[in-house]
Chains A and B, each alone.
Chain A
Amino acid sequence: MVEHLTLNPEPVAHGARPVYQIERLSKTYARNRLVALSDVNLTIHKSEFVSVIGSSGCGKSTLLKIMAGLLPPTTGRVVLEGQPVVGPRRDIGMMFQQATLLPWKTTIENIVMPIEIRDGRAAARQARDRATDLLELVGLGDFANVYPGELSGGMAQRASICRMLVSDPAMLLLDEPFSALDELTRDFMNMELQRICTERGATAFLVTHSLAEAVFLSDRILVMKARPGHIVEDVRIDLPRPRTLEMINTPRFGEIVAHIRDLLGREAFV
């Protein structure tokens, strides 16, 4: 079974064009000479959902920050849609562990904020229709003019999905987006995320601590190990789509989870 799952590091091309390409990426923190990432190579294709999983300190957050243009790499090439990533870009949408909605702005004002920051208030006003559609998409149609203090944790994260999507980014970067939610809400949010990504053909990169979440959502899972941070294996998830919560109980799902757990080894739990 295990051999069955093991894949070549370069995934089988499925016709889709590459969206995000990373070659020979390394990151060394000058302050303590810590090698956070070493020789990371990665290609993400259009409409692909890729997750990275690994123990704390394996460099997955560093990888995400470099991909977002928030942190410069030490060596290597980082290219999104043919353009090198040398800073934050409007074609990257991000989502964080906390919803980070500004409490003094209404839900819809929060959602159009990326537009407001980049293009000004007039453009943000024009984006309101699009924001309203997005709110409908995530089932928050009635909450456009409510302040975030009145939203539940799951609703707030759904609003932050809208904020991520409002500028129609080519690449979604998700930094443990649902890890602060309770498990039932989390399952529901994963279903929602899958639906939204499928509907929009979104290309996404997810950092997570949850094996089940990674397997549930992903086409591929990158298993990372620390010291120095590197990709151990690129696991293709061959479960059919759309995925359902019932699949979590199937033997195939269990096999994949067991395989990744095996790869992570004891390191992941200490």
Chain B
Amino acid sequence: MTDISEESGDDTVWVEHEAFIDSIPRWVAMTFLFVAVVGIWDLVTRMGWVSAIILPTPSETLDDLIFVGGNLITGNYMLDALWTTTLTVFYGFVIAVAIGFSLGVLVGETKFGERAVMPYLVAIDTMPKVAFAPLFIAWLGFGIGSKVALAAFIATFPIVVATAAGLYAASENERMLFKSMGASRMQTLLRLKLPTGLPYIFTGLKIAAVGVMAGAITGEFLGGGRGFGALIRQSASQLDTPRVFALILYLSILGLALYFTVVWMQRRFVFWNKSDRPGGVA
């Protein structure tokens, strides 16, 4: 009815331009990237630009993947090694969650924890934690115990920090609301601060899930034993690079399984917070 429409007559319809790189669907993009990387890898090794000892060809790696896979499926010695590492990771994670969560509540909920415990935790956290591995071996021997200890040690700190930060996340108004309802300290902690802090705590758990893997494998590198890390070190010392590649790939399945278990639990327990799931990965 306005002057403009009467004069021009037709509608102003236009399309927003989307760049080509943003318009590729996920599966096409992923396949493309995979093919491209493997293609370059194949080219580099086939042309002899890189020594086969440093970088095996894709087909050699595939052969080893199939071999290791077969070994794992038939329940041979590699499955035992993977099981040992899985147990190490599991125990390490459980211990890290128990200690990290308790310390996090102490730091985040009490002034004593904030004033006395936190400075020491920060001091220890800044140390390179792998340097403690010889100590754990001296204390706990060459068995699974020293590996579990190192894994738990590395994974504890992110959980402490995340839990403490999570407990601070409730807003001033929410705290006032609980105070005005006459809520006890324990009620405020359990019904307000912890649920509000869950997204933070899960972020800490995801970092811990990555750390616990690193700790377990580092422990097995340094302390031997019967885990997957020992297998990798053994193959590496024999310059069997394709085997190392294959073992690392299977190891990553363990890491992914742990990580996505945490992600799944987060979606289940923090159903109200839909903000942090970009691409369904984080």
Residues of chain A whose beta carbon lies under 8 Å from any beta carbon of chain B: 65, 68-70, 87-90, 92, 94, 96-98, 100, 102-104, 113-114, 117-118, 147, 149
Contacts and interface: CB of A to CB of B under 8 A. Distances in A.
A88 B179 contact: yes
Which 9 residue pairs are nearest across A and B when measured between Cβ atoms? A103-B272, A88-B182, A96-B173, A94-B180, A117-B181, A114-B181, A117-B183, A100-B173, A100-B174
B181 A88 contact: yes
A149 B177 contact: no
Nearest to B274: A149
B178 A117 contact: yes
Interface of B: 171, 173-174, 176-183, 187, 191-192, 195, 271-273
Contacts, number: 48
Among B178, B181, B191, chain A packs the most CB atoms within 10 A around the CB of B181
Contacts of B171: 98, 100
B238 to A, nearest CB: 54
B195 A104 contact: yes
B182 A98 contact: no
B1 to A, nearest CB: 25
A90 B178 CA distance: 12
The secondary-structure label for the interface of chain B is helix
A104 B181 contact: no
A149 B272 contact: yes
Contact of A102 (B179, B187, B192, B271): B192
A96 B177 CA distance: 8
B181 A118 contact: yes
B177 A104 contact: no
A87 B183 CA distance: 11
B193 to A, nearest CB: 11
B273 A103 contact: yes
Given A68-B180, A88-B182, 15 more contacts: A69-B180, A87-B182, A88-B179, A92-B180, A94-B176, A96-B173, A96-B177, A97-B173, A100-B173, A100-B174, A103-B273, A104-B272, A114-B181, A117-B181, A149-B272
Contacts of A147: 272
Contacts of A70: 176, 179-180
A181 B195 CA distance: 26
A96 B187 CA distance: 20
A94 B177 contact: yes
A166 B117 CA distance: 42
B181 A89 contact: no
